[in-house]
Structure 1
Amino acid sequence: MPQITIDYSDLMEDAFDREGFARALHEATVEIAAAKPEACKTQFRPSAFTAFGYEDPGARGHAVAHVTIGLLAGRTDETKARLTETAVELLRKHVTGGAFTLHASAEIRDLDPSYRKAEG
């Protein structure tokens, strides 16, 4: 915990500073949600196909990035909102120079009480 995934349009590859984004998001998650740094884990999942509205997908004029942060239950709605707002701001900061319109979003979900992890 936290379990972080970023689903994003692959046309962002060259414009997305994933390493910088992950570091900044981990720092924000520690500060805002009282997570431990060593507990922050992030996976990036590029999508080869993104559809936006009625646009021809071949036009590739829009990119979508969505951050999902799974936390153990107990954070206030205010804490969750602050963290998602920060995640969206960080996406905008770390996706630069692309010839597309970025649609950035984020959400927090409480991990199910059955959540378990193993290391090693």
Structure 2
Amino acid sequence: MPQITVDYSRTLEHGFDRAAFARALHEATVEIAAAKPEACKTQFRPSAVTAFGYADPDEQEHAVVHVTIGLLAGRSDETKARLTEAVLELLGTYVEAEGAAVHASAEVRDLDPSYRKFDR
């Protein structure tokens, strides 16, 4: 915990500083949601095709980034909203898409009570 996934259009491959974004996001998550630094884990998942509205995906006029953060239950709605806003600010800093409109979104949710993990 936290479990962070970042889904993004493959067209952002060269315009998204993922390492710097992850570092800044982990710092924000520690500060805002009282997570432990060593507990922050982020996976980046590029999407081969992004469809937006009626636009032709081959034209690559739109890029999408969506961040999902799963936290153990107990954070207030205000804390989750602050973290979501921080995510969007960070995306604005670390995502560049020449010639494409970037559509960014974020969600902070509680992990299910069945959540378990192990480390080796």
Q: TM-score, normalised by structure 1?
A: 0.98
Deviation at 1:98, TM superposition (A): 2.5
User: Which residue is 1:35 aligned to?
Assistant: 35
User: Which residue is 1:82 aligned to?
Assistant: 82
Q: Following the alignment from structure 1 to structure 2, what is the Cα–Cα distance between the partners of residues 104 and 2?
A: 20
Indicate whether 1:45 and 2:45 are aligned.
Answer: yes
Q: Where does structure 1 differ by over 3 angstroms across 4 or more consecutive aligned residues?
A: none
Gaps of 5+ in 2: none
Q: Following the alignment from structure 2 to structure 1, what is the Cα–Cα distance between the partners of residues 85 and 116?
A: 27
Paired AA for residue 105 in structure 1: S
Deviation at 1:92, TM superposition (A): 1.0
Aligned residues with identical type, % of pairs? 73
Alignment of 1:53-68 (within 5 A): 53-68=53-68
User: Is 107-116 or 21-30 further displaced after alignment?
Assistant: 107-116
* SS across alignment from 2:6: strand
Q: Following the alignment from structure 2 to structure 1, what is the Cα–Cα distance between the partners of residues 114 and 69?
A: 17
Indicate whether 1:23 and 2:23 are aligned.
Answer: yes
Q: TM-score, normalised by structure 2?
A: 0.98
Count of residue pairs brought into register by the alignment: 120
Query: Does the CA contact (< 8 Å) of 1:12 and 1:98 recur in 2?
Result: no
In the TM superposition, what whole-angstrom CA distance separates every residue of 1:35-57 from its partner, at most 9, and x where no partner exists?
Answer: 00000000000000000011011
Q: Following the alignment from structure 1 to structure 2, what is the Cα–Cα distance between the partners of residues 87 and 117?
A: 25
